[in-house]
Structure 1
Amino acid sequence: MATSSASATLSSQTPQTTEISNENSRKTRKEPLESMPEILESMIRERGDFRKARLAHIEGWRFLGGGLLISSLEVTIIGTALITISSHLGDFERSAWVVTTYLATYCAFVIVFARVSDIFGRRTTWLVALGFFVLASVACGAAQTMTQLIVFRALQGIGGGGLYALAMTVATEVPGKLRAPINSILSSVFALASAAGPLIGGAIATGTSWRWVFLLNVPIGVVVFIVSFIIFPTNPFPLSYSLEAYRRIDYVGFFLSVGSIELLALSLQSGGVNYRWDSGSMIALLTITGCCWIAFFAWEMALSSKLWKSKALPIWPCNLFFRRIIGSGLLAALFSGIGFIAVIVYLPQRFQIQNGDPPIMAGVRMLAYLLVSSLFAGLAAVAVVFKNVLFPLMLFSSIMQIVGLGLLSTLPTTVGIFPGQYGYQVILGIGFGIALSVLPLITRMEITLFDHAINMGAVTQSRLIGSLIGVGFGEIVLQSRLWTRLSTILTPEELGLIRQSMSNASKLSPYKHAAVQNEFGKDCNLIFRICMYISIGCLLATLLCYKRKPISIKELEKTESTLATLEAQEIGETSRRGDC
């Protein structure tokens, strides 16, 4: 959520440390301004003419907020409505797939859309993503079975990933005079999505049909599409839509990336549920998943290092990943995403199942976490403008995540609400809010202007893979422990009713109802405890991001401004010569 606001705050920051060559790297450290023409020339040779996809100006940038809002809402709005949706469709056991499939395709297509926009331009890619998202939202609202909803959510995630990727990419390309306003707008959008999502989801689930959780996107999306079609600026220089442009798409990387992420989601959701972990089917699935990931990274490494002679642009920046600070930052984003989504998904479910709250009250009880995370994401973005304190902030964030998740794992499993949990939410909100804002900036400080879009896609994708794993771990705990223990308390008929809908627990005897609530609370505590241990990995990855002499932010702003000016001049001269 807050990642975009932080990135927009420092949208003028691009370090001069991309190692196109050792010589250029040394020049940028010593003479950032004088060496810009030589650096630019080397970058252009390395990157090719996809730089023409960058926008020279984008005066009508406010329309980005609408698309980003509906995309971000779909991550948070579903948590408080999920119990109601599963009750109406009669399939609580598979309800987590509604979250997982959206995250999986959202995650898989973020970096794909970022790279495709480098080839076909921001405007075309944005409109395609927005149109796809709106149509998929209509399909989700019309779903009649859980299977249909799961499939349509996967399609919706494709469009949502595209909207996020393009909004973040365009935010790095606004003129200097608009950087502060767009930071304010995007920060407000994420704060609104974070705080209002659970409330809107709870209000819809309580007061009207759950289908409006998805149909709400349609009127907003249609308006944004029309406005975008009219005012979204075209590229200042002609883009090539020839066969040569299509050859620059990394088809192999695309299919391996999507396949790897989808197989990971399938493995996490099927293990211990459809198949035993030690069964032949599960071992085969895990083996294929691992092979796909290995093949993906091997292919992207070959493409990035030019070992494989191809004109395709790699969708994953392996050359960036192997730099210590960038690689560590991506790992920290992955570990942080696990705990963040676990709280978003399982805490409101706990309020509804264990404490008996209606959906809208579950959303209200989440406000401490959601508002504080949005507030501290904005504060962190502002703080780093004045001084480069990215590492201390991220170190503090990692510690707060560990403490907050540890405290949350100690919540009592009785029916009543423990008041101290709001304080735990505040601690978590501080930790995750700062991380969402700071992590993209840590990696961005190590790249150049031409890698902004792909860097933002990589950080976002890492965080979303973490979110996917977080939901997967949660379901493994619930499916492997909850149903096993409840089978010793409930009759097969009663257990079948609970599998269809957790709301059926209220129809049980008081003793059995209390047992269901207690067991679900225990499993939620275990989920948060696992996430706490994983957050230690975030702390270790953060320590690897340490830099003895961090680059001055003001110097970076000046350097990137100079580079952007030279880039526009070079593209214009090339276009006038007819070489593009």
Structure 2
Amino acid sequence: MKTTNRPLVLASVMLAMFIGAVEATIVSTAMPSISAELGGFSKYSWVFSAYLLMSTVTVLLYGKLSDIFGRKPIFAIGILLFLAGSLLCGLANSMEELIIYRFVQGIGAGAVLPIATTIVGDIYSAEERAKIQGYLSSVWGISAVTGPAIGGILVASIGWEYVFWVNIPLGILALLGVMIFLVEPAAKKKPTIDYLGALLLTVALSGFLYWLVEGGVGFAWLSAPSLLLVSGAAAVFFWFVQVERKATDPMMPFDIWRNRSILFANLVSLFTGIILIGVSSYLPAYVTGVMEQPATVAGFTLTAMSIGWPIAAFFSGRLLIQIGYFQTSLLGGISLVIGAVLFVLMQAEYGPWWAAMSSFFIGVGMGLTSTAFIVSIQAAVSYEQRGSATASNIFMRNLGSTIGAALLGSVLNSTLLNYFRSTGQNFTLNSVNELLTEDGRAALPQDAMDFLQEGLAQASQNVYGLTAVFALISLLLIFGLPRKRGMSGNGQ
């Protein structure tokens, strides 16, 4: 009887997680070049939001489908869609085209991270998972935050298109490894797919996201379009909840949320997702535009996060066994607060080393918490619910990143617009494009550059102030986790 080749499946899963996570952030340092070539700084946040929205909406559906049909076929569908989107993104001729292709990428990405993580939960025991999930969290952390550094190198050497195309050979390898070397049990469940639930969640999140991105920019916060959007999104989400409660096989099984390990881990993950996207998306613009550093240095400030993340994830697996989920998560929450406060205190004259130190602490916090949460959640459910339970945590972190990209992007844009209006200067959001490249800064008069840099600095400070608030909320929520020691700490 053929058996799973665990080392090769693990290697394939880690590669899949690498490309899935890296794509959320690899465009960060490439965006100044992309924005300069394609135009449209006002649509800057949509490049991130489009990808995150679709990967967030689809992650729950893919998790449920993998419980019904098995991991391999759903994983294959997700990877192929993701690679098709990557190819198209590199061929984009306008910012609007790029955003559309990022939607396609995101639809595929929704399958990659949750199913890769679930496969590991299937083939390793609870005790082994603590160590293995540490490796996976390291890969996720390294890819998520070295993405900007890789992006900077690719942009400087061969062009921004390769930021997307680099995924294609890696994705093919990951797909072949899982399809050939993973042996999974035959599906036992009769397929019942919650299409209505998936549609309602997509509509609700899309409406809410559009409201966050365009609020204060495309329309006033206190206006009829604003009220219509947010009330409509809330109504559709309420309908979604009602549908899920009555569905035979709901896309989001709310019963798993009654477990305290799952409930509080997922709530914390929502806010850590906001923190992660706040740092990775907007720090490069600050480092290049205000500190006047090249893209490679901006990438370095985020790469510091990739040093803290895998180190913390490595020790997290061991800490879980020694001191339990709660203490490990608490250490992570404290580190997130330290990193966020350091960002709030950051000034342009402090230089990129300060930004790198702040990123390092965020990385340590993410490494400790993400590993602890996945291990505790997978230990709390059966095989039949593992895909959905794992997907619920990744959904919440993705939802946080989706909300963060939209909310923090709106804060950045609205702060800049208010700054321009209050000073009576004739600048637009697209004027900020000039700060993001050396040639652009050289073409600006000194007084105009000083003015724009001050505006971008103020807007960035508002973004990091809000990020610090979310870090504090994360720390407080961690106190809701069960406090049993060791691997059995999955209290209800």
User: TM-score, with normalisation over the residues of structure 1?
Assistant: 0.77
Could you tell me which of 376, 386, 403 is aligned with 2:338?
A: 403
Letter in 1 for 2:406: G
Is 2:316 aligned against 1:380?
yes
The residue aligned with 2:220 is 276
The residue aligned with 1:78 is 27
The answer to whether the Cα contact below 8 Å between 2:435 and 2:453 also exists between their aligned partners in 1 is no
Deviation at 1:324, TM superposition (A): 3.7
The residue aligned with 1:354 is 290
Deviation at 1:128, TM superposition (A): 0.9
The residue aligned with 1:158 is 107
Cα deviation, 1:24-44, whole Å, max 9, x if unaligned, reads: xxxxxxxxxxxxxxxxxxxxx
Change (3 A) 1:445 1:174: closer
The answer to whether the Cα contact below 8 Å between 1:300 and 1:317 also exists between their aligned partners in 2 is yes
The residue aligned with 2:143 is 193
State the distance in 2 between where 1:453 and 1:543 align. Answer: 26
Change (3 A) 1:190 1:328: closer
Could you tell me which of 338, 352, 369 is aligned with 1:435?
A: 369
The answer to whether the Cα contact below 8 Å between 2:339 and 2:359 also exists between their aligned partners in 1 is yes
Letter in 2 for 1:381: G
Deviation at 1:178, TM superposition (A): 7.8
Q: What does residue range 226-375 of structure 1 map to in structure 2 within 5 Å? A: 226-233=176-183, 235-237=184-186, 245=191, 248-303=192-247, 310=248, 313-375=249-311
State the distance in 1 between where 2:472 and 2:398 align. Answer: 18
Change (3 A) 1:378 1:510: same
The answer to whether the Cα contact below 8 Å between 1:401 and 1:431 also exists between their aligned partners in 2 is yes
The answer to whether the Cα contact below 8 Å between 2:326 and 2:482 also exists between their aligned partners in 1 is yes
State the distance in 1 between where 2:352 and 2:90 align. Answer: 36
State the distance in 1 between where 2:131 and 2:445 align. Answer: 57
The residue aligned with 1:517 is 453
The residue aligned with 1:412 is 347
Q: How many residues align?
A: 483
Is 2:160 aligned against 1:221?
no
Ranges in structure 1 where 5+ consecutive residues have no aligned partner: 1-54, 304-309, 557-580
Change (3 A) 1:439 1:222: closer
Letter in 2 for 1:88: E
The residue aligned with 2:325 is 390
Deviation at 1:195, TM superposition (A): 4.9
SS at match of 1:172: helix
Letter in 2 for 1:357: Q
Change (3 A) 1:132 1:239: farther
State the distance in 1 between where 2:135 and 2:335 align. Answer: 27
Change (3 A) 1:296 1:134: same
State the distance in 2 between where 1:230 and 1:420 align. Answer: 46
Deviation at 1:96, TM superposition (A): 1.0
The answer to whether the Cα contact below 8 Å between 2:67 and 2:385 also exists between their aligned partners in 1 is no
Q: State the Cα RMSD in Å.
A: 2.6
State the distance in 1 between where 2:457 and 2:358 align. Answer: 16
User: TM-score, with normalisation over the residues of structure 2?
Assistant: 0.90
Letter in 1 for 2:218: N
| Larger mean Cα displacement after TM superposition, 178-187 or 313-322 | 178-187
Is 2:407 aligned against 1:463?
no
Change (3 A) 1:172 1:323: closer
The answer to whether the Cα contact below 8 Å between 2:92 and 2:98 also exists between their aligned partners in 1 is yes
Q: What does residue range 499-518 of structure 1 map to in structure 2 within 5 Å? A: 502-503=435-436, 504-518=440-454
SS at match of 2:345: coil
The residue aligned with 2:40 is 91
Change (3 A) 1:179 1:377: closer
Identical-residue share of aligned pairs (%) = 23
Deviation at 1:179, TM superposition (A): 5.7
Change (3 A) 1:488 1:193: same
State the distance in 1 between where 2:433 and 2:172 align. Answer: 35
Is 2:439 aligned against 1:495?
no
State the distance in 1 between where 2:260 and 2:486 align. Answer: 19
SS at match of 1:218: helix
The answer to whether the Cα contact below 8 Å between 1:394 and 1:434 also exists between their aligned partners in 2 is yes
Is 2:75 aligned against 1:126?
yes
State the distance in 1 between where 2:489 and 2:334 align. Answer: 30
Letter in 2 for 1:392: Q
Cα deviation, 1:95-152, whole Å, max 9, x if unaligned, reads: 1111111111111111211110111121111111111111111111111111111011
Letter in 1 for 2:169: P
Deviation at 1:322, TM superposition (A): 3.4
State the distance in 1 between where 2:340 and 2:418 align. Answer: 25
SS at match of 2:409: helix
The answer to whether the Cα contact below 8 Å between 1:57 and 1:175 also exists between their aligned partners in 2 is no
Change (3 A) 1:510 1:87: same
The residue aligned with 1:144 is 93
Larger of the two Rg values belongs to structure = 1
State the distance in 2 between where 1:209 and 1:555 align. Answer: 49
Deviation at 1:470, TM superposition (A): 1.5
The residue aligned with 2:415 is 481
